[in-house]
């Protein structure tokens, strides 16, 4: 029976952790899977020649390249799992990808970025899926702040426009959100910004202090994220880059009207009505060892115009996105991704 080792971050919880756990749950339906901490895998020398997933490949191996190569020779096959936060990866990252037998990325956007950057091993697309909580019934708020926010919304007939930023505020487009919301609140004072700001402990909230809104700071549970989306009307996916951007799919699944640039990985799951004209392509990061390319920066002017149209006809837009929510909850469930994941393993098994 095929044995799989799945290497992923266990010493802290990041987005890679959630995706890895979803992959592991699917793989365990069919294979024997050993979960291996990212920090220790280079010190483990297998004798059974497993197929090894390394997720994320680049940050797990960049600074331990020699150790990685030493244990790499003991694997039956090595599968790297990664994203492309811009339209290119660095030569060093492409070289690392080419030490694997196959790469897995979450979108065609990311696959094209890898291929144009010189990756010549097979690159498979296994999209991210929706966890069960994002596909279930609406959840009333349990968080005290959110309870008050929902009460205020009902009493004042407010419209909540949500935005999540756990890290990389420039990549996530926080500055664009502030710029657009300042314009919107001039004519729609009942449109409040509802922000989950993860790792910045209020520093970014200070920038937006002139805006009307609520700010949820620090780490929160997945349930709380669902509660935020369930009381929101619109979600701003203003990211300049990203290999998939789960937040957009999750917001869509909860019935939010999602707005995003018309170039990027999210165009693979968002309806056409969600897409806002791109103003220009810009570097996503500076001095990043992996993601060295460009991403789409949406036009604030077009975003403001689109929001005016939505806010002036909100019931019709919400009805349309309620239908989209039902569709994506079915189409993007994690179990639907299992055959794509199994295909990667089966292809490598056939190669012996």
* 10-residue mean pLDDT series, the chain (352 residues): 89 84 97 93 86 96 92 93 97 97 98 98 98 96 92 97 90 94 96 82 62 80 94 98 97 98 98 98 95 98 98 98 97 97 93 65
Q: What single-letter DSSP state applies at residue 158?
A: -
Domain map (residue ranges) of the chain: 3-129+334-350, 132-331
Which residues, 6 or more positions from 292, have their beta carbon under 8 angstroms from its beta carbon?
86, 88, 89, 90, 285
Q: Are 177 and 259 in contact (CB under 8 A)?
A: no
| One fold for 3-129+334-350 and 132-331 | yes
Euclidean distance between CA atoms 41 and 324, whole angstroms: 42
How far the first Cα of the chain sits from its last, in Å, is 13
**Of the candidates 71, 18, 2, the residue with the CA atom closest to the CA atom of residue 40:** 71
Report the sign of the C-alpha dihedral through residues 111, 294, 81, 13, in that order. Answer: negative
Q: What are phi and psi of 169, to 5 degrees?
A: -60, -35
Residue 215: HSE in the Cβ half-sphere, 13 Å Cα cutoff: 20
Unique residue bearing structure tokens 């339209």: 87
Yes or no: domain 132-331 corresponds to CATH 3.20.20.70:
no
Tokens at residue 16, please?
A: 């890679």
pLDDT of residue 202: 56
294-298 and 278-283: which strand pairing?
antiparallel
pLDDT of residue 206: 62
pLDDT of residue 214: 83
Euclidean distance between CA atoms 9 and 327, whole angstroms: 32
pLDDT of residue 205: 61
For 3-129+334-350, which CATH class?
alpha beta
């Amino acid at each position: 029976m095929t044995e799989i080792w799945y290497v992923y971050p266990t010493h802290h919880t990041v987005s890679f952790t959630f995706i890895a756990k979803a992959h592991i749950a699917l793989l365990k339906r069919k294979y024997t899977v050993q979960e291996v901490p990212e920090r220790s895998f280079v010190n483990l020398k297998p004798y059974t020649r497993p197929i090894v997933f390394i997720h994320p490949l680049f940050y797990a191996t960049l600074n331990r390249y020699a150790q990685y190569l030493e244990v790499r020779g003991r694997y039956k096959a090595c599968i790297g799992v990664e994203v492309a936060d811009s339209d290119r990866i660095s030569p060093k990252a492409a070289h690392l990808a080419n030490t694997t037998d196959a790469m897995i990325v979450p979108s065609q956007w990311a696959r094209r970025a890898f291929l144009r950057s010189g990756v010549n091993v097979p690159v498979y697309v296994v999209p991210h899926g929706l966890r069960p909580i994002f596909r279930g019934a609406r959840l009333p708020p349990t968080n005290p702040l959110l309870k008050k926010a929902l009460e205020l919304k009902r009493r004042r007939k407010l419209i909540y426009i949500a935005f999540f930023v756990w890290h990389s505020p420039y990549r996530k487009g926080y500055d664009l959100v502030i710029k657009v919301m300042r314009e919107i609140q001039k004519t729609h004072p009942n449109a409040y910004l509802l922000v989950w700001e993860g790792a910045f402990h209020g520093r970014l909230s200070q920038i937006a202090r002139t805006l009307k809104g609520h700010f949820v700071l620090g780490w929160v549970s997945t349930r709380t994220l669902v509660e935020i989306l369930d009381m929101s009307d619109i979600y701003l996916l203003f990211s300049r880059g990203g290999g998939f951007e789960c937040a957009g799919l999750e917001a869509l699944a909860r019935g939010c009207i999602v707005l995003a640039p018309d170039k990027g990985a999210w165009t693979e799951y968002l309806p056409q009505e969600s897409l806002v004209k791109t103003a220009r392509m810009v570097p996503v990061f500076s001095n990043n060892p992996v993601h060295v390319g460009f991403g789409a920066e949406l036009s604030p002017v077009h975003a403001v115009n689109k929001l005016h149209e939505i806010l002036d006809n909100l019931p019709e837009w919400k009805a349309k996105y309620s239908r989209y929510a039902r569709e994506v909850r079915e189409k993007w469930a994690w179990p639907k991704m299992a055959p794509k994941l199994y295909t990667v393993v089966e292809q490598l098994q056939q190669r012996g």
